[in-house]
Amino acid sequence: MEEKILKLFKKKPEHYLSGEQISKSLNITRSAFWKHIEKLRLYGYEFDAVPHLGYRLRKAPDKLYPFEISPILKTRIIGKDIIYHDTVGSTNTIAYNLAKSGAKEGVVVVAERQTKGRGRLSRIWSSPKEKGIYLSIILRPKMTPFKAPVMTLMAAVSLAQAIRESADVQAFIKWPNDILINEKKVSGILTEMDAEADFVKFLILGIGINANTKILDLPKGATSIAQESGVFVVRQQLVKALLERLEQNYLLIQKEGFAPIRTQWRNLSVTLGRRVKATCMHKQIEGEAVDIEPDGGLKVRLDNGFYEKVMAGDLALLR
Amino acid sequence: MEEKILKLFKKKPEHYLSGEQISKSLNITRSAFWKHIEKLRLYGYEFDAVPHLGYRLRKAPDKLYPFEISPILKTRIIGKDIIYHDTVGSTNTIAYNLAKSGAKEGVVVVAERQTKGRGRLSRIWSSPKEKGIYLSIILRPKMTPFKAPVMTLMAAVSLAQAIRESADVQAFIKWPNDILINEKKVSGILTEMDAEADFVKFLILGIGINANTKILDLPKGATSIAQESGVFVVRQQLVKALLERLEQNYLLIQKEGFAPIRTQWRNLSVTLGRRVKATCMHKQIEGEAVDIEPDGGLKVRLDNGFYEKVMAGDLALLR
């Protein structure tokens, strides 16, 4: 109902709407309407109320509310159900537990702040309140666990595309799952899954974006989109763009495999052609990153001329 | 303490031991000793108590109690901690939740009966009480999810070996995770994992064995070890053999990779050389199973002479 009321106000942003009018058109009582307005005020919406004229929406809060995102979202699967929290431990943990309990593919958990944001390899993902985006998506692709790295690359492509669409910045992908602007990290992806040996039960794509986050709140080497572009990004629009790109690329990968995403990944990469140092589970290698493989691995040319494929681990861009 | 008291009785199976003697040697009070004897009686142990002589252990129950298994178990990791339940939903679910909460590698959950036993691909694993073995092992191998199928094959090798050691039967492996005796299923493995795209957080090996299970309690096509060998198997000894083989092969795989296990797998296989029909996620193939690949996949020669590798799915042995 909040969504419907907001829709009416947003349709005529400068107009006053009478409570009677709105109640009638939504088929609710005046007192129910009143309660919704009070609820919206609690959410941070500001209304001008003028006797005989009615109400006008003066200000909508900068929040990732589902009833702000859903009306503008053009997807069929991803984000059809958005679960909002102001503050959570970790959106990935919540999404994981929901998926374990049978939640459907496409459910999105979004939060304004994480107190236990997690990054790859059990690291912390710094998630201060002002004004990042922290969201996790439940996917149930019919695939083996071998294909999971490809899903991370698909998410990275979607994320870079969405950031470029929402802000005037050149976002690039650093293998496997970081998004950089001007060589500094603005976003990361944590892919987690529940699987049998040869069968993925579900997969959680966790995405953290330093959208308008204050630089002082971020770890060294990190930046925000706002910092790099000089303009605040409209977070709701960025979430919309991200979910739409994700759905588009997810459907593409299921229809045509990794090849078309791989091409896009190459174009958005800041990794290929660079000298890199990869720290894997059992060793360290250094060389030039030359390509991304069909299975999502990074092909590195060592100084002795041999090639090696890196499937896991950390990557440092050297020059 | 139950373990210590049982140890004393088992050392001299035909002798009466006085309560005073035992209390003294274990440094507990007479009344504490009494309570432990009562507890053991509740567990199903039967004692003869004769005035002036003391106690004699007349009968130990056929149960998979940790204090029966631990004293005979020669492992360093797997089974150092055994968690026993009479009846559970699924030992894999319990082990999974324990691992999520940080339980150590090697923890084993064992049960006499499962009410929601699970098999591969979300199927049911029939787990009647009389007298199967249902256990799950937490492993934390440092590896990528790609290697998980190899862990299933390692478990299958260990399981076939342990069954052969504990009973006079020829147990064979049907790819990927069934153990057959005389072409009928006696045991299955369900490998589940919690992982990032390129990093396994933990892996649960779930194993169900129709040890002395009544045939009437089993689904069609299944059998029990006792049925095929004509003799009841000592379940505690089978669990011991299984955990020891698992540890041995697990350490081997970490030290030398899959190659030595692969050789053992080939020797124990009922799959290779057979005509098979494989039902994978997206298609069905038929042909002759010719080898197991280094990544755990099954190499099948199609009728047109081409080879295909099966990584996931169901296999039917045709002739």
CATH number of the domain enclosing B261? 3.30.930.10
The answer to whether B195 contacts A145, with C-beta atoms less than 8 Å apart, is yes
Set of chain B residues whose Cβ sits within 8 Å of the Cβ of A176: 197-198
A154: pLDDT strictly greater than 70: yes
Q: What CATH number is associated with residue A50?
A: 1.10.10.10
Domain check: are A211 and A310 in the same one? no
- How many C-beta neighbours within 10 Å does residue A276 have? 22
**B281 in reach of chain A (CB within 8 A):** yes
Domain check: are A133 and A76 in the same one? yes
Domain check: are B226 and B303 in the same one? no
**A254 in reach of chain B (CB within 8 A):** no
Mean pLDDT of chain A: 91
Indicate the DSSP class of residue B142: S
Q: What is the Cα–Cα distance from B117 to B95, expressed in whole angstroms?
A: 13
Element containing residue A200 per DSSP (H, E): strand A199-209
Domain check: are A141 and A197 in the same one? yes
Is the previous residue joined to B277 through a cis bond, with omega within 30 degrees of 0? no
Cα–Cα nearest to A135, from A187, A100, A60, A70 = A187
> For residue A108, what are the CA distances in angstroms to A66, A84, A220?
10, 8, 29
**B146 in reach of chain A (CB within 8 A):** yes
Domain check: are A249 and A200 in the same one? yes
Alpha-helix residue ranges (DSSP H) falling in chain A: 2-11, 19-26, 30-42, 66-69, 91-100, 148-166, 225-229, 235-256, 259-268
* Count of pairs with CB atoms under 8 A, one residue in A, one in B: 87
The two three-digit tokens of residue B15, written as one number: 């002798």
Domain check: are B6 and B151 in the same one? no
Q: What is the Cα–Cα distance from B274 to B288, expressed in whole angstroms?
A: 6
Q: What is the Cα–Cα distance from A73 to B32, expressed in whole angstroms?
A: 68
- Of A10, A36, A59, the residue at which a domain comes to its end is A59
Give the per-residue pLDDT at B121: 66
- How many C-beta neighbours within 10 Å does residue A295 have? 13
Sort residue B51 into left (φ over 0), alpha (ψ -120 to 50) or beta.
Answer: beta
- Of B59, B77, B97, the residue at which a domain comes to its end is B59
The two three-digit tokens of residue B304, written as one number: 């047109």
Q: How far apart are the first and last CA of chain B?
A: 54
Domain check: are A85 and A227 in the same one? yes
State what percent of residues in chain A have pLDDT above 70: 98
The answer to whether B311 contacts A144, with C-beta atoms less than 8 Å apart, is yes
Contacts for A183 with CB less than 8 Å, ≥ 6 apart: A270, A317
Residue of B nearest to A193 (CA): B195
Give the per-residue pLDDT at A212: 94
Kindly report the backbone phi and psi dihedral angles of residue B308, in degrees, each rounded to the nearest multiple of 5, phi listed first.
-135, 150
A63: pLDDT strictly greater than 90: yes
Give the per-residue pLDDT at A129: 66
Q: What is the Cα–Cα distance from B127 to B124, expressed in whole angstroms?
A: 9
**A142 in reach of chain B (CB within 8 A):** yes
Cα B271 from chain centroid (whole Å): 21
Kindly report the backbone phi and psi dihedral angles of residue A140, in degrees, each rounded to the nearest multiple of 5, phi listed first.
-130, 65
Set of chain B residues whose Cβ sits within 8 Å of the Cβ of A151: 197
Cα–Cα nearest to B201, from A140, A118, A106, A113 = A118
Q: In b/e form, how buried is each residue of A101-110, taking b as 16+ CB within 10 angstroms?
A: eebebbbbbb
Domain check: are A168 and A308 in the same one? no
Contacts for A304 with CB less than 8 Å, ≥ 6 apart: none
> What is the per-residue DSSP string for A150-166?
HHHHHHHHHHHHHHHHH
Domain that residue A52 falls in: 2-59
Domain check: are B289 and B141 in the same one? no
Q: How many CA atoms lie within 13 A of A283 on its CB side?
A: 6
Give the per-residue pLDDT at B218: 85
Residues of chain B short of pLDDT 70, as ranges, are: 121-122, 127-130
Q: Tell me: the pLDDT tens digits for A198-241?
A: 889 999 999 999 999 988 888 888 999 999 999 999 999 999 99
How many domains are there within chain A? 3
**B195 in reach of chain A (CB within 8 A):** yes
Domain check: are B286 and B259 in the same one? no
Cβ atoms of A95 and A137 closer than 8 Å: yes
Q: In b/e form, how buried is each residue of A116-134, taking b as 16+ CB within 10 angstroms?
A: ebbbbeeeebbbbeebbbb
Of the candidates B142, B148, B201, which has its C-beta nearest A145's C-beta?
A: B148
Return the higher-pLDDT residue of B125 and A161. A161
> For residue B148, what are the CA distances in angstroms to B90, B151, B153, B266, B304?
21, 5, 9, 18, 31
Domain check: are A125 and A256 in the same one? yes
**Residues B86, B92, B95, CA angle at the centre, nearest 5°?**
85
Set of chain A residues whose Cβ sits within 8 Å of the Cβ of B312: 144, 198-199
Domain check: are A160 and A221 in the same one? yes
The two three-digit tokens of residue A255, written as one number: 């229809």
Give the per-residue pLDDT at B172: 96
